Amino acid sequence: MKKNIRPSTSKILGFSNQEFRNYIFTLQDYLQNKLAEGLSIDEILDIEDPFETLEPILPEEVYPIMVLAMINNIRSDTVMDALTEGFQKGVIQYKNVKNA
């Protein structure tokens, strides 16, 4: 069964911290498989931007960390904790802007 690499923004907003981490790992696996098939990151992004659904949620300072972690398959607790913390902040900011 293929995992959904592009859930809706509303679905992502409802993720628990563990679901968010699992989603990041799913995206990393997807990207690593595409890179192993010989595609470059530019080619992957031209075909389908797997980061697109997270972009409106993650704070500007966390987004590049996420992209680099995904491309380089970095799964350390330190990086994942930073991404999760950024995700929590981003969800609050996103909801505040939408409710304003």
Q: How many residues does the chain have?
A: 100
Give the pLDDT score at 61. Answer: 94
Q: Are 27 and 80 a contacting pair, CB within 8 Å? A: no
Give the pLDDT score at 50. Answer: 84
Give the pLDDT score at 3. Answer: 63
Q: Where exactly are the structural domains of the chain?
A: 15-99
- Token look-up 């300072």 returns 61
Main-chain dihedrals φ then ψ at residue 37, nearest 5 degrees: -75, -10
Give the Cα separation of 89 and 44 in Å (integer). 28
List of residues 6+ apart from 28 with CB closer than 8 A: 69, 70, 73, 75
- Residues of the chain where predicted confidence (pLDDT) is lower than 70: 1-3
